[in-house]
Amino acid sequence: MDQVQRMTADYSEATGLASVIVEARGVPVAAPCAFTEFCQAMRSDPVRAKLCESCDAHGGLQSLIEQSPRIYRCHAGLIDFSVPMMEGDKYLGAIASGQVRQTDDADQPQYLTTGSTWQDDPRLVELYNQVPVYSRRRIIAASETLLGLSKSAGLVNKCPIFNLPTRSGSRAAETVHPERTQPQFQLLTQIVSADDESGSRTVSEHHAALRDALTAENLDEAFIQGMRPAVSAIVSASVYRGAQNL
């Protein structure tokens, strides 16, 4: 974790963008870097903080499935992006970055969740207007830079998930691999040992976190429909060994 924290701190220093390491449910697991005053104020409210964490959780999951940085608008309207953190085929969480406005109004990314109402607070409006403005090209470049740094640090690996469609509807990921007879995906919010796994016969809280995130009311409906069958297979399996193919 120290290595990841140093990397994100250096990244934020170099780019001027905020960054934070979150677990699968979007909860920060390390000190945030370069957060804007607006986002600090938003997260100081428990209700709004939950919305922020929901955006980070959804962004991390979608970047995992798409295997690329996921650029989106958070509930407050700022531009964020996420890259997944992996250990082998285990999803640990994500690195979320951004907290900027975008200059190109015609090419704004979609909201990842429903927008929230904060504009009636004059102080928040004032802080929002102070948020840095980046071009779309610069945001994309920053997201690719973060992905490259994550890969060089060994945090992002190709996760062998099969039969899970991407948002673009590509069928390439649906190729059947007969030689793979066990599920290849495991959701974790913390690293566990093989000994810890071997004795368990119940669905873990980490699987429940994925299930809850993917059935959340505000998650993009198309994404839900594409993911739900695979997620159901994961959360209903008794451990990973001996379960049915995804």
Domains and CATH numbers, the chain: 2-152 (3.30.450), 172-236 (no CATH)
pLDDT surpassing 60 at residue 215: no
pLDDT digits (tens, 9 = 90+) for 86-107: 888 889 999 999 999 999 776 7
Interaxial angle between packed helices 2-15 and 136-152, expressed in degrees from 0 to 180 and rounded to the nearest 10? 160
pLDDT surpassing 50 at residue 190: no
Q: Name the band, by pLDDT with cuts 50, 70 and 90, for residue 17.
A: very high
pLDDT surpassing 70 at residue 175: no
Instruction: Give me the pLDDT at residue 79, please.
Output: 96
Mean pLDDT of 134-150: 94
Q: Are the C-beta atoms of residues 83 and 94 closer than 8 Å to each other?
A: yes
pLDDT surpassing 90 at residue 140: yes
Q: Lowest-confidence range among 77-91, 100-114, 140-154, 159-173?
A: 159-173
Instruction: Give me the pLDDT at residue 86, please.
Output: 87
Q: Name the band, by pLDDT with cuts 50, 70 and 90, for residue 50.
A: very high
**118 or 232, which is more confident?**
118
Q: Mean pLDDT, the chain, as a whole number?
A: 73
pLDDT digits (tens, 9 = 90+) for 147-157: 999 888 777 76
**Opening angle at CA 15, ends 112 and 189, nearest 5:** 50
Q: Lowest-confidence range among 70-79, 110-119, 167-176?
A: 167-176
Q: Are the C-beta atoms of residues 86 and 151 closer than 8 Å to each other?
A: no
Instruction: Give me the pLDDT at residue 157, please.
Output: 63
**103 or 116, which is more confident?**
103
pLDDT surpassing 90 at residue 23: yes
Instruction: Give me the pLDDT at residue 242, please.
Output: 38
